[in-house]
Amino acid sequence: MTDIDNWLRSNTFHHSQFWDLKRLVEEKEKQGLLLSLCIPTLNEEKTIGKELVLFKSELMDRYPLLDEIAVIDSGSTDRTLEVAAAFGADVYRSADILPDLGSRLGKGENLWKAIYQLKGDIIVYVDADIKNIHPRFAYGLIAPLIYRPEIKYVKAFYDRPLATSKETRPLGGGRVTEILVRPLFSLFFPELSALVQPLSGEYAVRRELLERLPFPIGYGVETAHLIDTYSAWGLEAIAQTDLDSRVHRNQPTRDLGRMAFGILHAFLTRLRLHGIVSGLPELTTMLRQFQTRADEYEQLLFEISEEERPPMIDVPAYREKRGNMD
């Protein structure tokens, strides 16, 4: 087992370590890498424009770190697509990518189809609802992959730095991380509990890894990725970067329950696939929640599917696009 303290020292970064963007661009060009930024969207007209202006002006025009900026949309009914196109992003509807394979609803679907659509050797995913957006949300995740070839997957964490000169502050993930995912990791994958925010929506990954990962289409995608990456390549292939703070909308507890259900579904599936447990019953896709109406207790049923897309490398159209990869 990797010593977690050593891993925290060697594979945990702060974005300020990578302030020299000119040097970062020079190293990227020296290695001949192509870098893609993917922003998955669903009704994000209020924040997508600001993100695109910042990333394009700072990380394409001023410092040519990114080779493409793409929005992959799940079917927005607001002006997300129009705003994104107006601010210079390449805009794609998820349903239009690999149409022969059909379309599914879910963030994981967008992330999976980005592998086919985008050209980068490294893809960095950034959520569309970040109110305090800053270039560090991209370069802070890309830089460890450029400077450390053995690293394949870099996760973001944020809210507070690990320590200040005057005090040490508690650091952790969101509510679902601390109540569900961290206890599960501690029980079954103790080394993965070293990740501060395993459910963060910002991460950068080498294509050579991404194309080999199956993709749950829903809430379980980040958890599944970490388990599969760890199982195949070890903790040394994973890193994390402290991005200081992230301001975004909070979700109500009921929505977090649905998220937890999907994550637990993906987690239990991974335990079975990796031979850690056996004899699990068939997992239901139905979550029950409740509300009161006058004197009645009303049962709310939500079907939450954690259907998985196969590794992109197993898709014939992808292999043909990338040169068959034989």
Query: pLDDT digits over 100-146, tens only?
Result: 999 998 889 999 999 999 999 999 999 998 989 999 999 999 999 99
- The 10s digit of each residue's pLDDT in 265-322 is 999 999 999 999 988 888 888 889 888 887 888 888 888 887 999 999 999 999 999 9
Contact 200, 125 (CB under 8 A): no
8 Å CB contact between 225 and 270: no
DSSP code of 16? G
pLDDT of residue 210 exceeding 80, the answer is yes
Name 239's bridge partners.
Answer: 154
Of how many residues is the chain composed? 326
User: Is the separation of the CB atoms in 198 and 192 below 8 Å?
Assistant: yes
Within 10 angstroms of residue 180's Cβ, the number of other Cβ atoms is 19
Q: Within 10 Å of residue 260's Cβ, how many Cβ atoms?
A: 18
Domains, the chain:
4-256+310-321 (3.90.550.10)
Residues ≥6 apart with Cβ < 8 Å to 128: 39, 40, 41, 44, 47, 48, 51, 71, 80
- Tell me what the mean pLDDT of segment 154-162 comes to: 77
The predicted structure's pLDDT at residue 174: 83
- How far apart, in Å, are the Cα atoms of 12 and each of 4, 241, 290? 11, 6, 41
Does the pLDDT value for residue 150 go beyond 70?
yes
Do 220 and 266 form a contact (C-beta atoms < 8 A)? yes
Return all residues near 56 (Cβ < 8 A) that are at least 6 apart.
69, 87, 88, 89
Contact 242, 17 (CB under 8 A): no
DSSP state, residue 309? E
Query: Where does the chain have alpha helices with state H?
Result: 4-11, 21-31, 48-56, 80-86, 107-117, 136-147, 175-176, 182-188, 207-210, 221-233, 253-273, 316-321
**Cα Rg, the chain, nearest whole Å:** 20
Sorting pLDDT into bands at 50, 70 and 90, what band is 1? Answer: very low
- In whole angstroms, give the CA distance from residue 10 to residue 23: 21
Closest Cα partner for 116 from 138, 133, 134, 94?
Answer: 94
How high is the pLDDT of residue 248? 64
